[in-house]
Amino acid sequence: MDQKHDHANQILSLLENNESINSLQISQTTGVNHQELVGYLLQLEAANYIITEGLKKDQLVLTEEGNTILNSQSGEYEIYQKVPEGGIQMVDLQKQFGIEQAPKQKQEQGEKKEKQAEDPKKKLFDLGFGNAKKMGYIKMDKGIISKVANDLPDKIKQELQQFNEIKLGSPQAKLLIERKLASISTIKYFEVKKGVKYSPKFREQFAALTTEQLLNGEWKDCDYKSINLNAEGEKISMGNLHPLLKVRKQFSQILIGLGFEEMATNQFVESSFWNFDALFQPQKHPARDAHDTFFCSDPELSEEVDTQLRDKVKSMHQTGGVGSIGYQYEWSHEEARKNILRTHTTAVSSKMLYRIAQQYKEKGYFPKKYFSIDKVFRNETLDATHLAEFHQIEGVVIDKNASLGQLMGIIREFFRQIGINKLWFKPTYNPYTEPSMEIYGYHPILKKKVEIGNSGVFRPEMLAPLGIPEDVNVIAWGLGLERPTMIYYDIRDIRTMVGPEVKVETVRSNAFCVFESK
Ligand code: PHE
């Protein structure tokens, strides 16, 4: 703490008579290592005593080899010193450097020769020897190496001792770089100026005003840290909803806000009866094929539904009613009992409609708005946009006055609340609705028209067998949960949204709310 203060005061007093001073100069005059100094500077800047500007420049620095020479001697000088007064033969000089001569005959074998040439000691010696000759330390005469003169100085070492005076770009610097004794390195430093709170003496800044300081009047002489209103609070570690659940929650809130009640959806295994037959979907409809539907093997068949209901559905399929001639085929009881994983949430709606019709018998007619959001299953090949299990959102309105116009109105309002304002309806075919409409929306992020749902008015052929009175209309629409979630959370591959591929960190950091209505 005290040392920190001392350094801070040293820096501040250096600035007292200077407009600006750089951190390298400060480091040199104070003797504080540059890296450590930067820490003090940042603290002083945070307290507004100083302002700093980051700068960088190239500097000549000694390489490891340069440093070694500076601390002992150069290679050529070492050779020079090992040459005795009367001269020496090459073999003997090399021996002094630990270089062994290979026996003659072996030298002739190519392989060995190569090995010797690679000897790093020999390489270093050859280099030093060459330089010692070039620099006029030694000479060679008839195989005898001798000193040119006695008591020559180590010129390289002398040069390195003057290293601090060598300017970048000078011929001396170039030579040192060439000889790999120095290199250029970029250093970062700061230009330091006085800040708004500058004073030559550093006063400790308190983080908070204490009762004590207030009571004894110390506060008058204290400096307080300014409050950083942009500081983030400490991250709270807690559970987070998966993106699908976040979107699901928002959808259900929107629907609840529009007066819809949630249906119980906790039954993944459903009989074909509720998923298909009760929806007036013929038994030979391609969607019932094993390619699209997961059939259960154990138990393969579901329990009987109410026989009266079953017979009504059967006769509607076979011969029709309510102005329809039906599909004119032999309806199989067994086929309807086949257990499957529900392929759409409309299976939940059909069951609910039957229940409502039962209640009508006791209580008489009442209008109702229902919704569901849950998993459905289809035997799809998995890819970036398809999973074998996904979620559907479905809304159903049971009302004597329900009309196609009302359906379009509700759909518009629903999508408006998730930020999709431009909608298009396109006629389509569903076995259970007539008219049926695909819903397209202008995607504000993708900036194009995309299919976002399917809808329609439930057919009398479906409603009559369930017991819904003829004057009661039922309108409904459905959409997937995954597509909007992927779009709003920018998830490119649906497979990263489920199972082990889910990144817990993104689940944590994802926005709490994604939809914005205009
Ligand atoms: N069940 C339809 C589907 O799976 C959606 C839908 C629901 C259509 C209700 C019309 C009415 O795509």
- Crossing angle of helices 34-46/23-30, nearest 10°? 120
Which of left, alpha, beta for 156 (phi over 0: left; psi -120 to 50: alpha)? alpha
Mean pLDDT by 10 residues, the chain (518 residues): 79 92 92 92 91 92 91 92 91 89 57 60 89 92 90 91 88 89 92 93 86 92 84 84 90 96 96 97 89 94 95 98 96 96 97 98 97 96 89 97 95 89 94 96 79 95 98 96 83 85 84 69
Distance in angstroms (rounded) separating the CA atoms of residues 387 and 390: 6
Ligand 1 atom nearest 343 alpha carbon: 4
Q: Give the end-to-end CA distance of the chain in Å, rounded to a whole number.
A: 56
Q: Provide the token pair at 316.
A: 């509607």
Q: Measure 281 CA to ligand 1 centroid, in angstroms.
A: 12
| Number of C-beta neighbours around residue 290 at 10 A | 9
Helix axes 34-46, 2-16, angle to 10 degrees: 80
Number of other CB atoms surrounding residue 515 within 10 Å: 16
Helix or strand (DSSP H, E) at 448:
strand 448-458
CA 20 to chain CA centroid, nearest Å:
42
| Residues 6+ away with beta carbon under 8 Å from 490 | none
CA angle 437, 440, 444 (to 5 degrees): 160
pLDDT of residue 272: 97
Contact 440, 423 (CB under 8 A): yes
pLDDT at 103: 65
Pocket of ligand 1 (CB under 6 A): 344, 346, 394, 430, 433, 454-456, 476-478
Residue 114 pLDDT:
52
Tell me what pLDDT residue 1 has: 46
Contacts of 505 (CB under 8 A, 6+ apart): none
List of residues 6+ apart from 10 with CB closer than 8 A: 30, 32
* Ligand 1 atom nearest to 376, measured from its CA: 4
| CB-neighbour burial class of residue 451 (10 A; exposed 0-12, middle 13-18, buried 19+) | middle
Q: Which long-range contacts (CB under 8 A, 24 or more apart) does 9-12 make?
A: 9/200, 9/201, 9/202, 11/37, 11/40, 11/41, 11/44, 11/50, 11/192, 12/44, 12/49, 12/50, 12/198, 12/199, 12/200, 12/201, 12/202
From ligand 1's centre to the CA of 306, what distance in Å? 25
Predicted TM-score (pTM) of the model is: 0.59
Angle between helices 23-30 and 2-16 (to 10 degrees): 120
Distance 50 CA to ligand 1 centre (A): 67
Closest atom of ligand 1 to 396 CA is 9
CA of residue 377 to ligand 1 center, whole Å? 14
Contact between 190 and 107 (Cβ < 8 Å): no
Radius of gyration of the chain (CA): 44
Most informative mutation of 392, 454, 474 for ligand 1 (most atoms within 8 A of CB) = 454
Distance from residue 172's CA to the centre of ligand 1 (Å): 84
For atom 8 of ligand 1, which residue has the closest CA? 455
What is the distance in A from the centroid of ligand 1 to the CA of 293? 16
Cβ atoms of 212 and 218 within 8 Å: the answer is yes
Test site for ligand 1: of 275, 374, 380, 394, most ligand atoms within 8 A of the Cβ: 394
CA distance 482 to 487: 9
Alpha helices in 229-287 (DSSP H): 243-257, 272-275
What is the CA 442 to chain-centroid distance, rounded? 28
22: CA distance to ligand 1 center in Å?
72
The number of residues making up the chain comes to 518
Closest by CA position to 22, among listed 50, 61, 43, 3: 50
How far apart CA 265 and CA 347 sit, in angstroms, is 9
pLDDT number for residue 517: 64
- What is the 426 CA–ligand 1 centroid distance (Å)? 14
Which atom belonging to ligand 1 lies closest to the Cα atom of 458?
Answer: 11
The answer to whether residues 26 and 155 touch, using CB atoms and an 8 Å cutoff, is no
